Amino acid sequence: MLDLAAKLVLGPLLYAQARRLRATALDLPEPHGPRSGVEGSGAPLSVLVAGDSSAAGVGARTQDEALALPMARQLAALARRQVRWQLIAQTGFTSEALLHELMLGHARPAQIAVVIVGVNDITREVPLAYALRKRAEIAGWLRAHVGARALLYAGLPEMERFPAVRQPLAFYAGQAARRNNRAQARWARQMQSIHPGLRHLPMDNLTRPELMSEDGFHPAPALYARVAQRLAEAIATEVLPQWSAPAGS
């Protein structure tokens, strides 16, 4: 609740900082390169990555340095599978905007969906309960229309470590991100009865100021590599073994 207290006490200053940040932030493009492909060999495994600018790879020059393609490549090596991947992401997407984009029907069938969204819900002051409802709708849509057996919702990074965000706005943003992560983790546990393959995947202790891009708000390729590794390892060591485990184990 510290972020809410800070907003009450420092509201005018926080709003002034936020307006200045939006006015002065570098507008980096989404990286060039394919948004679908095949990596590795072996039994096929289909993966969809869906989300906002971080999912799209803003801060990298090409998709080869971004998130989805490196994750697919690492997953193929770890799981010894042929990974067929697709990326659906756009700068500025909130949870609701991502849901609307998915409902356009461009997503291909996927066994695993990785959802990366939430920062824009915070910056646009979307109520957390509303954002979580939209994430639940995303989960339901992905299961019904894409066939996803596993749904990984990535936690938000430590936003107070973004170089572009100055104090006290950095404190407020960091607290809001942690509140999101706690709520999303609880929500994921509660959703197990409806979506057994849904989980919250923490992204703690990855973000460092020196690993951020020139805009001070998005990852640079070195940080994308760390996130891609965490996602690939979680799928290879936590998700896939459960699929082959005996019932009730």
pTM of the model: 0.91
Q: Which residues pair with 60 in a beta bridge?
A: 58
> pLDDT (tens digit, 9 = 90+) per residue, 229-241?
999 999 999 999 9
d(CA 126, CA 144): 26
Q: pLDDT-derived band of residue 17, with 50, 70 and 90 as boundaries? A: confident
Fold designation for 2-22+32-243? Rossmann fold (3.40.50)
Q: Where are the beta strands (DSSP E) in 112-157?
A: 112-116, 150-154
Q: Please provide the average confidence, as pLDDT, over all residues in the chain.
A: 92
> pLDDT (tens digit, 9 = 90+) per residue, 83-122?
999 999 999 999 999 999 999 999 999 999 999 999 999 9
Q: pLDDT-derived band of residue 213, with 50, 70 and 90 as boundaries? A: very high
d(CA 237, CA 39): 18
C-alpha count within 13 angstroms, C-beta hemisphere, residue 76:
19
Q: Which residues pair with 12 in a beta bridge?
A: none
- Indicate the domain borders of the chain: 2-22+32-243
What are residue 239's phi and psi, to 5 degrees?
Answer: -85, -55
